Amino acid sequence: MRIVDSVSTEHKTDAELIAAVTRGDRNAFADIVRRYEAVVASTVIGMLGAGDAAEEAGQVAMIKIYNGLDRFRADSSFKTYVTRIAMNTALDELRRRKRFLSRFFTRADSDAADPIDDIPASDNVAGNLEQRQLVLNALNQLKPEFRSVAVLRLMQGYSTAEVAAILNLSEGTVFSRLSRARQHLKAALESEIYDE
Amino acid sequence: MNNKHRALLERYLDGSLTPTELETFKALRSHDPTFDASVVDAEALGRVVEGSGPLGFQPGFEARVMARINARAAFVSDDAMMLLWRMFPRVAVPASALTVLIMLNNYLGAPAGASILDALFGLPARNIVAVLGALT
């Protein structure tokens, strides 16, 4: 019975799953979590690095999505909505870290990039772990306003218009932040880029 | 690179250039080596980032999220309880201090011979006795 349920919900559209959750079917939300786990992971790990903070931010983002589903108005795609919540949660965490650090360190110290955890050895996703760590380290050197556009555009493949909508910025601002982010990333990943 | 070139490059990478804009883009690449180098760098960087593979949580993420959501749902008045729990230390300490001050004030102003409880609560002993007598 349970298997039949899970098979049937896999073919449901986002709108059908959202409607089911707002009617009180929490199991339908499990399908939403499965469907958008990768989107949330790319956003929060790209912003915070792999580790416990990203896991916590990912869970908090999913809970926020669950609590706010009845307010989702479908004026943007659900994927964009999910990404926006995940990004805002990650930015909140970065602000919290900065506030915490500013209590104990000088301004120069607290503005410096945060150390990020190594990607766990048991990480189950495909790809070049070493290269991924280099990319995450390079992203971590960027200030959050540049990191956010780089994560959305370069890692998640959103168009500049979508990035502007998610971050509530003008397209011109996204163009200029992307350009700056690319310069920094190019410098940080020079060996990777030219070893290709 | 000026803003117009920057926008052209980004929209090229988006794949959203119109045929006319694409012609402009190609012409610019062939005449401006700096712009051409920027395009090559941007494409190479894109490949490196894409080649680093998708990012993911440790297995079981969905179960961990659902466990938290189910736990919250089971605790119906979670938000109200959390509010009370957070408020308690802020209210309890000043309230206790105020109570001690009032009791001390009552005690110091109590008539001689009053029992300690009557003195602390600021009530004349005869009233307490009268109430207890009426009840019994």
Domains of chain A: 2-100 (1.10.1740.10), 103-195 (1.10.10.10)
Residue A122 has a pLDDT of 40
Question: In terms of C-beta density within 10 A (0-12 exposed, 13-18 middle, 19 or more buried), how is residue B112 classed?
Answer: exposed
CB A89 within 8 A of CB A40: no
Q: Over chain A, what is the mean pLDDT?
A: 82
Residue type, B42: A
Strand ranges for A86-172 from DSSP E: none
Measured in angstroms, the CA of B30 and the nearest CA of chain A are apart by: 21
Measured between alpha carbons, how far is B68 from A65 in angstroms, rounded to an integer?
Answer: 13
pLDDT at B39 over 90: yes
Residue type, A43: T
Q: Model confidence at A174, in pLDDT bands (50, 70, 90)?
A: very high
pLDDT, tens digit (0-9, with 9 covering 90-100), for A28-53: 999 999 999 999 999 999 999 888 99
Query: Rounded to 5 degrees, what are φ and ψ at A129?
Result: -60, -40
Residue A154's nearest CA partner among A129, A179, A173, A171 is A179
* Residue A54 in contact with partner chain B when CB distance is under 8 A: yes
Q: How many CB pairs under 8 A join A and B?
A: 128
pLDDT at A148 over 90: yes
Averaged pLDDT for residues A1-22: 70
Measured between alpha carbons, how far is B34 from B4 in angstroms, rounded to an integer?
Answer: 14
Averaged pLDDT for residues B78-88: 74
Give the residue from A25, A135, A140, A194 with the most B CB atoms within 10 Å of its CB, the best one to mutate: A135
Measured between alpha carbons, how far is B71 from B63 in angstroms, rounded to an integer?
Answer: 12
Averaged pLDDT for residues B14-26: 92
Kindly write down the DSSP assignment for every residue of B109-120, as one continuous string: TSPTT--HHHHH
Residue B76 has a pLDDT of 55
Contact across the interface for A171 and B7, Cβ inside 8 Å: yes
pLDDT, tens digit (0-9, with 9 covering 90-100), for A55-64: 999 999 999 9
Cα Rg, chain A, nearest whole Å: 18
Cα Rg, chain B, nearest whole Å: 39
Measured between alpha carbons, how far is B32 from B26 in angstroms, rounded to an integer?
Answer: 10
pLDDT at A126 over 50: no
pLDDT, tens digit (0-9, with 9 covering 90-100), for A57-116: 999 999 999 998 888 887 778 999 999 999 999 999 999 888 877 776 665 554 444 544
Measured between alpha carbons, how far is B42 from B7 in angstroms, rounded to an integer?
Answer: 13
- Using a CB-CB cut-off of 8 Å, the residues of chain B touching A160 are 10-11, 14
Residue A5 has a pLDDT of 43
Residue B70's nearest CA partner among A44, A59, A110, A93 is A59
Q: Model confidence at A147, in pLDDT bands (50, 70, 90)?
A: very high
- Using a CB-CB cut-off of 8 Å, the residues of chain A touching B7 are 171-172, 175
Residue A183's nearest CA partner among B35, B60, B45 is B45
Higher-scoring residue by pLDDT: A4, B131: B131
